Amino acid sequence: MYNKKFNYSSLKELRADLSELDFELPLTENVEILKKEIKLDDLDIPNRIAIHPMEGADANLDGTPSDLTRRRYKRFANGGAGLIWLEAIAVNDSGRANNSQLYLNKDNLSPFKRLVDLINSESKVDPYLVAQLTHSGRFGKNKIIAFRDKYIDSISIEENDFHIITDSELDQLQLDYLQAAKLAVEAGFDAVDIKSCHRYLLSSLLAAYDREGKYGGSYENRTRFLKETIQKIRDNVDIDITVRLNIYDAIPGGWSTDQNGEPDLKETAKLIKELEKIGVQIINITASTPYLKPHINRPYDNGEYIPSEHPLIGVKRLLELTKFTKEQLTKTLVVGTGFSWLRQFGGNTAAGMIEDGWTDLAGFGRQAFAYPNFANDIFENGEMDKTKVCISCSKCAELKANKMKAGCVVRDSEIYLPIYKQLKTQKTS
C-alpha cells in the first residue's frame, strides 16, 4: 500500500483517489494561468513555473560551476521556467557540504557571472534568478552543529567529530551571508535565498530549544539569526530577499512539530508574517529533512526506501502546507511544493492552485532534472509528455546524499546511469 505506484491515466482517476483522502485539491485542464507574469514592486517574474534548487554536487574544487553545472543550467534556461532557484551556494568554505558544492567568494566571482550570463542568454523569457545561500551545518564537511539532536546525530555526526558553533561564530556568519549577498549582486542574481530548511544550520537554529545563549531557547532567540541576517542584507545590499523555509520539521519536538512528529504551526505562522514585515519577497515551501524522512519533502513510489505512507498523502501534506503559508501573507509571494510526484498532472494541479489562491508559483525539483523542457511543453501543448516525466525514483537524491554527481539516472542516463552504477558497485563491494 505505502509504495503504491503512480497509475493515473486521467484527471478523473486522480480526483477519485483524492476524494478518498477527503482532499479537495483544485485541478484544472486549463493551464493558461501558468503563462501569467507576476509583478511586485521591482520584482518581475515572466511566468508561474519555478525550478527548485536541485544540487548537482558537481562544482569544481574551488567552488565554481563546472561544465556539468553549466550544462544543467543551460538546460533549465532553455526549458522556459520563469523563476530559476539555483542550488545551494555556500557562504564560506566551512559551510560547504563537500568539495563539490558551489561556493561563492571574492576570488571566484567571474565564473558565477558567466553562469548568470549563460542562463540569461539561453532563456527566451528573462528568468528571475535566485542564489540560494547556505551553510550545511551538521551535513557539511566540517560537521558544525547548533545543538545535539538525538534523532539526527546518528545519521550526521560521530561522537567527538563535530563542533557546536558558538554565538560569536554565528555573529561572524551573519557577515559571511552579507558578503555573499553583495557578491550575488555583482554576479547578476535578482535575489538571494537565506536558506532555512532541511535541518541545515539555519533550519537547525529554528529548533534550538535547548541551546543556551542568544541564538537558542525562546522563539525570539531561535529566529534571531535568520531575521537579523535578512535585516543586515536589506540595510546594505540592493537585492531581493527570499527564504526557502521548513514549514515544520516532522521530527518529534522539532521546529513547529509536536512530540509525535505532527505539525504544530503556531510559530511558523508567526515567523512567516514577520518575514513579510521585514521585506522577504518570496517564501519557498518545504519540510523535514531528506536525510531522515525523505518522503516528507519528496513523496515517491520507487526505489529501495519504502515510505510509511501512500505518496499521495505526502503530496496532500505539501500542497496543504503551501496553502497554509499563502493564507498567512498579504503581499509576499509563495512558491508551492509537491508537484513532481503527480507527473504529467503537475501542471494541472499548479494551475488550479494558482486560480484558487493557494499559491503564486509552482516549484518543480526532480521534474526539472528529468524533464528540463517541461515548462515549454505545458505552455505550448497544454500538458507535459508522460513519456518524459520524473518517475519519482529518487535516484538523483541518492547520488547527492552519497556526494556523487547528481542528475536523472532514468531520463539523462548517458551521464548519470554510469555514476549510479558506480555507487551501487561501491555499496556491494
Write out the three cell numbers for 168: 560569536
**What is the rounded CA–CA span in Å between residue 280 and residue 262?**
27
The Cα–Cα gap between 347 and 366 comes to 14
Residue pointed to by grid coordinates 571566484? 108
The Cα 145–Cα 256 span in angstroms is: 19
Nearest by Cα to 105 from 57, 62, 169? 62
d(CA 170, CA 174): 6
pLDDT < 50: residue spans in the chain: 1
CA 266 to chain centre: 22
Q: Which three cell numbers stand for residue 155?
A: 545519521
pTM: 0.97
Nearest to 308 by CA among 288, 329, 325: 288
Partnered with residue 144 across adjacent β-strands are 163
264-314 pLDDT, tens digit each: 999 999 999 999 999 999 999 999 999 999 889 988 887 677 778 889 999
Tell me the CA distances in angstroms from 189 to 101, 116, 133, 194, 363, one per residue in order: 18, 7, 12, 14, 18
Q: Which three cell numbers stand for residue 379?
A: 505552455
State the architecture of 11-389 in CATH terms.
Alpha-Beta Barrel (3.20)
